[in-house]
C-alpha cells in the first residue's frame, strides 16, 4: 500500500496556509504589499511542492463583492501553479470538507481548531495553529482519507 502525499491549502486574503499529510508539515505565506505581487509570490511558492494531490478550498463569499473577487483570483493563481506542474488539483466547498472531516458542514473556527488539536494526524504546535492552518489541515485530511480508501 503506497503512501500518498496530500497538500491541503486554504487561501485567505491575508496569506496562504498549507498542510501536508502524512508528514504534518505546515506552511504559512503572508501576502505581499500589492495584490499583483501577492499573486506572483503565491504562484512561485506553490512550485516547491510535489504532492500526489492538492486539495484547495473553493471560493466562498466573503464580506463583499470586492473581497470575494480577490479571493477568487488567489484561488485561481494557486490552482494554475499546481496545474502547470501537472499535479492533481481538487477544489472543495467548505461545507463539504467540514461535513466529511468534522461531521458538521457548519463547524465553527473553534470546532475546527479543536478537531486538529485532538487529531492523531497532526502535530502542529498551538502557537502556530491559526484558523487558516487548521482549515488547511482539514483539507489535507479530507484529501488523504479519500486517496487512501
pLDDT digits (tens, 9 = 90+) for 91-128: 999 999 999 999 999 999 999 999 999 999 999 999 99
pLDDT digits (tens, 9 = 90+) for 17-61: 999 999 999 999 998 898 888 888 888 888 888 899 999 999 987
Nearest in space to 19 (alpha carbons), one of 149, 119, 103, 105 = 119
**Please, what's the b/e burial string for 42-59 (b: 16 or more CB within 10 A of its CB; e: otherwise)?**
beeebeebebebbbbbbb
Counting every residue written for the chain, the total comes to 149
3-state secondary structure of 105: coil
User: What pLDDT is recorded for position 1?
Assistant: 54
Residue at grid coordinates 491541503: 8
Amino acid at each position: 500500500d503506497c503512501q500518498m502525499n496530500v497538500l491541503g491549502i486554504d487561501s485567505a486574503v491575508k496569506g496562504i496556509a498549507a498542510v501536508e499529510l502524512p508528514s504534518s508539515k505546515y506552511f504559512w505565506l503572508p501576502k505581499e504589499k500589492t495584490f499583483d505581487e501577492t499573486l506572483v509570490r503565491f504562484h512561485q511558492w506553490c512550485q516547491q511542492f510535489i504532492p500526489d494531490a492538492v486539495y484547495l478550498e473553493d471560493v466562498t463569499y466573503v464580506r463583499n463583492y470586492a473581497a470575494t473577487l480577490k479571493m477568487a483570483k488567489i484561488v485561481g493563481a494557486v490552482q494554475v501553479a499546481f496545474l502547470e506542474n501537472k499535479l492533481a488539483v481538487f477544489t472543495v466547498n467548505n461545507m463539504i470538507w467540514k461535513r466529511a472531516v468534522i461531521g458538521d458542514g457548519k463547524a465553527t473556527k473553534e470546532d475546527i481548531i479543536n478537531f486538529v488539536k485532538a487529531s492523531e494526524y497532526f502535530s502542529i504546535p498551538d502557537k502556530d495553529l491559526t484558523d487558516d492552518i487548521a482549515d488547511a489541515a482539514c483539507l489535507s485530511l479530507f484529501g488523504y482519507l479519500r486517496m487512501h480508501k
